[in-house]
Structure 1
Amino acid sequence: MLNRMENGGAVVDRESLRRAGHDLPLPFSLSPQAYDQAQAGGLFCTRLLRLVPGKRMVLKASWAGKGPVIVKLFLDAVKARRHWRRELDGVKALAQAGLATPELLFAGTLAEPGLPGLIFRELEPVATLLELWETKTAKRAFFLGRVVAEIAAQHQAGLLQKDIHWRNFLFCRDRAYSIDGDAFALEQAGRALSREESRANFALFLAEPYAGIDSYLETLWIDYCRMRGWSVLNEDLPLIRAMVARQRRSKAENFVAKSRRSCTAVSAGRQGGFFRLVERRYQSPELEKLLAAPDDFLPAGEILKAGNSSTVVRLRLDGLDLVVKRYNIKHVAHALSRCWRPSRALISWNNAQRLQWWGLAVPEPVALLEKRVCGLRSTAYFISRYVPGRDALTLLGDPQGTGSEKKAWLQAFARLFQRLLELNLSHGDCKATNFICGRDGRLYLLDLDAMRSWKRPGRKFFAAVSRDYRRLLANWRDRPELQNEFTEILAGLKRP
């Protein structure tokens, strides 16, 4: 149990931390008697930075006499000590190779009955590579160059980051630091990695979806080779580009899969007869009421669609402008056909997560609900943010619209359909009302329950794409000039 202290904190033990979720009461302290006798003072934990429930927890804390620190706790009932050792070995390997990593202040048992933990000095000020990529656009080449130099030094020392990603590189006063020691494979420590291993890991580092990253690939690889004392081979860049494309697709699908289970971003579980997925950033008491009884809220909303297969309602809730789409069960035969398959709401959730990972504009997913009886699915709900704007049918058909405005949106359509083609995605229902010209200037894609991600651009994929294109052109039968514009757009797309 978490026992409240007079100073507003709490004293915790391993079992209470293992059972805790993202609603962990903060601040809390680790009981003073739990410390190694050689360690003075107590830890006062103030902020949860990361949680893998039941396995590990990362916290911001203050340590008497040491100042601000980062605490990493290992919680697994069986494997905690093994996870702690793997993290510690990785941190020590980085330090022994002379690579920058936050200073390790303590490694040992933090709380009875034996909670393995590590305490690092907190870097201040600090930002991840991803944060700097998004906010310091003029210095992108500088930050990428610093990280690639770290990667080259890691590879030269025989250290391979298996889970290399941009949040695992921190910057403090323009110096790059590597974190997450357990992400390193140490089998070759002290023996430089081969070109093949190095290329693959370099490609994995660049296999992120951020716009513009590919323009740095060649320069970064040339710099990497120079640091390793290599010449650039003719086959290097084509191989790296192919590996980047494969790894991006793999990462996208891993991201989608992760969004279906409890993690830092998403809460997953069963409650009140529903299986539910909820984006944690939207959790609130008011949203909980909606999730507990969605049908009670729908009559009070603005009906956007009242069909046999689905009902779509706009609701304003706790400062949020939401759209609730209920996928209806029409009759017994329909119920029997749907109960064993992934619901259309879940398909919408998966595709919204997938498109967001790729940087495409979709209404932000908020929650998914599936009624389940003995594991069989029934009525399902997909809840997303409302997107202010006008649908493409209305905007492009508006005689009052300017030529420059329409041209800009047509160009947005061209970019969107080119990207969908590159990503092997077919939409399945390209009605003009499923495209929202947002007030923020982005073209949003709606109605994702028929979208399909194809493994490769084969015959069936192109048949599905052709159906999308025919449906898109059918929107403009009474506007031949627009139909011609879209015909030219589709004809100009480059097939993968």
Structure 2
Amino acid sequence: MGFPLGTKKSLRNLAVIFAQLNIQDMALLKELVDIYFSVRFLKSKERSELFLKKSIDKRRRIVSKGYLKKNYRESTETVCRKSFSSFVLCKRDHYTKFMESFLGNPDIAFDSPEMIMLKNGNSTTVVRLTVDGMDLVIKRYNAKNIFRGFRHAFKKSYADRSWGAAHYLINNGIKTARPIAMKEMRIGPFRGKSYLVCEYIDGINALDYFIDPAFKDKKIMAQKVVGIFNQLELLRVRHGDMKATNILIYYNNPYLIDLDSMVIYKNNVLSNRAHRKDVDRFMRNWSEHPKIKKMFSPLS
């Protein structure tokens, strides 16, 4: 008979399992930890819980970092094309000759007579268009002025940030529009205009869903939305623009969209503060609808 593993090694192994489970509820995680501790008769419970939480966070970061790297380079999942004037990433299963040609000049989407304009703003232009038989959303990030364009030339593009954010959420069990491709216009290391291509989700936004009396299972859906917030808190993720219109209800599941401002924190204090801002912004959607607001009371 072998000897039992030491406490820290046991907790590290447990962290690997918990990190893969995508547990969305902190209370459930604590309950599982309590059961494990009672079976193992572990002492210094408070310190062990803290060590386990840090180990889970570390494991999640390691797994997510590896997954993200695969989606920023040539891999079995991703096609990567880099030149002096552009940087292109595309899901390999969608990289057809037609898609390759489209990514060569994605501006044609915004001039197409078949496109449906979803947003025409100063900073972003968003259209819906069928490309190679796929129902897609193409988002173009525009520079508002020369100064802003120069400043962003040295930063990650919004398309890059959204591409990474979408993969991070998907890898951690949060539903979002599947990213198909992204393109940055470049001059060497300097970034210019950028584009994001993702699947179109034919859903209804959460604001319209919860206000419309025709939908009956609102309490169940509210619990699922609360689950997204719990998961984001667990992952130390701030969405940054938590309007109810940035949550789509599709096939009885909430999808989080518009990830341009998403941030992943390492610091608990900053993460908690940012999470509170996300919650406060979301709750303001229901300021004139107290009955709906009550459905999200677990967030308060």
Q: TM-score, normalised by structure 1?
A: 0.53
Residue 17 (structure 2) pairs with residue 206 (structure 1)? yes
The equivalent residue for 1:476 is 286
Indicate the SS of the match to 1:209.
helix
Indicate the SS of the match to 1:416.
helix
Structure 1 residues 122-271: aligned runs within 5 Å: 195=6, 199=10, 202-203=13-14, 205-206=16-17, 208-211=19-22, 232=40, 234=42, 238=49, 242-271=54-83
The equivalent residue for 1:377 is 191
Q: 1:274 aligns with which of 75, 86, 93?
A: 86
The equivalent residue for 2:233 is 421
Distance 2:33 2:283 in 1: 38
Q: What are structure 2's unaligned runs of at least 5 residues?
A: 24-28
Q: 2:261 aligns with which of 438, 450, 454?
A: 450
1:481, distance to aligned residue in structure 2 (A): 2.4
CA displacement 1:444-491 (0-9 Å, x = unmatched): 000101011110320x333322322222122223323223433x1312
Structure 1 residues 6-405: aligned runs within 5 Å: 195=6, 199=10, 202-203=13-14, 205-206=16-17, 208-211=19-22, 232=40, 234=42, 238=49, 242-271=54-83, 273-300=85-112, 301-402=115-216, 405=217
Q: Is the 8 A contact 2:142 2:194 kept in 1?
A: yes
CA displacement 1:222-279 (0-9 Å, x = unmatched): 9xxxxxxxx9461598556653442123222332233222222122231583201111
1:210, distance to aligned residue in structure 2 (A): 3.5
1:322, distance to aligned residue in structure 2 (A): 0.8
Distance 1:480 1:471 in 2: 15
Residue 249 to residue 394, structure 1, CA distance change in 2 (3 Å): same
Structure 1 residues 452-467: aligned runs within 5 Å: 452-458=263-269, 460-467=270-277
Q: TM-score, normalised by structure 2?
A: 0.85
Across the aligned residues of Structure 1 and Structure 2, the Cα RMSD in angstroms comes to 3.1
Q: Which amino acid aligns with 2:233?
A: L
Distance 2:18 2:63 in 1: 8
The equivalent residue for 1:412 is 224
Distance 1:267 1:342 in 2: 19
> Which structure shows the bigger proportion of residues in helix conformation?
2
Residue 450 to residue 204, structure 1, CA distance change in 2 (3 Å): same
Q: What are structure 1's unaligned runs of at least 5 residues?
A: 1-151, 157-191, 223-230, 492-496
- Give % identity: 27
Distance 2:13 2:37 in 1: 8
CA displacement 1:67-91 (0-9 Å, x = unmatched): xxxxxxxxxxxxxxxxxxxxxxxxx
Indicate the SS of the match to 1:381.
strand
Q: Is the 8 A contact 2:81 2:87 kept in 1?
A: yes
Residue 233 to residue 484, structure 1, CA distance change in 2 (3 Å): closer
When the two structures are aligned, how many residues end up with a matched partner? 289
1:317, distance to aligned residue in structure 2 (A): 1.6
Report which of the two structures shows the higher radius of gyration computed on alpha carbons: 1
1:441, distance to aligned residue in structure 2 (A): 1.7
The equivalent residue for 2:249 is 437
